[in-house]
Amino acid sequence: MTATQHLTADDVVKALALPERARVDQRVPKKMLAEHGAPTATDRRLLTDGIEELQWIAALKPGTVAIPEHRADGREYLEVAVLSVQVRATHGKASQWLRLAELVHRAVPYPVLLIQALVPSAAATPDDGSPSPPAQLALSLAHKRAAQNEAGKTVLDGELVRSELLGPDTGNPSVAGPVLEAMALDRQPHQDLMALYQGWMDCLIAAEAARLTGNFRLPSGPTAAAAQRDALRACQRLEQEAARLRSLAAKERQIAKQVDLNLALQRLQADLNAARARL
């Protein structure tokens, strides 16, 4: 495995260990993406101006990975697409980064494993002319279901699940290696394509949990995976609330209110510790 600080989108693709017959390796025109995934003019500009290149890496379907399709409860997992998008250095803000990922997931009718890399600026290119490693690298997934009011359309089913392998918020640098090792295709559930996709999602959730615990641990089954997801959501919610209270406490001038805020913070920290223990 390439050293974490030199990790690239190609390294992610290699780690997935996809069969050659599943590879597509075609460039997707940005115009096509903007036509299908941009509900507003602002989103269309973001897709057009923010994306350097979008590659369709692989199509995972029964004929290419020997995993059955899934059809039940308004969900059709007939194919899983692996895409790689290069984002321009001008669009590296967290809000743009997240919105671009969401728009790509919305634009593709199939569930997507998205590899998102931020292209370094020209000034960051090495003197020897070799390509620079990305400044940011993230993976994201989102379940899909049939739209209730539009026949033939799909919509996101639940929240976007993502993990940054490189970037300002990656935290524990040891996470990238274990999560990529865990995401190899032959290590995922094979009962159907939805189970495969959920297996990848569980890997990303375990990576985010590891940023808090320092220990990458895959759940032992669906029940443990759901518990880990719930604990991670609780940690994220409690951390946001703690940050809000710390900000209020820093601005508060009345001693009595400062005391109340600090007591509330202590209670939150106890809840946070309990949630982390469940990860």
Burial class (CB in 10 A: 0-12, 13-18, 19+), 109: middle
* Tens-place pLDDT, residues 64-90: 999 999 999 888 999 999 999 999 988
**Residue 28: how many CB atoms within 10 A of its CB?**
20
Q: Specify whether the CB–CB gap between 191 and 221 falls below 8 A.
A: no
Answer yes or no: is pLDDT of 128 > 60.
no
Each residue's pLDDT tens digit, 118-127: 977 654 454 5
**Start-to-end C-alpha separation, the chain:** 26
Q: How far apart are CA 114 and CA 133, in angstroms?
A: 18
| pLDDT digit string, tens, across residues 149-180 | 776 678 888 889 999 887 765 544 568 889 99
229: pLDDT strictly greater than 90: no
pLDDT at res. 239: 84
Q: Which residue intervals of 113-160 are DSSP H helices?
A: none
pTM: 0.83
| 3-state DSSP assignment of residue 133 | coil
- Confidence label for 275 from pLDDT (cuts 50, 70 and 90): confident
Please spell the DSSP secondary structure of 85-97, one letter per residue: EEEPGGG-SHHHH
161-166 and 154-156 as β-strands: parallel, antiparallel, unpaired? Answer: unpaired
Q: 97: which 2 tokens?
A: 């980064």
What pLDDT score was predicted for residue 1? 43
Domain map (residue ranges) of the chain: 4-218, 220-279
Q: Which of 25-29, 129-133, 210-214 shows the lowest mean pLDDT across its residues?
A: 129-133
How far apart, in whole angstroms, are the C-alpha atoms of residue 199 and residue 247? 38
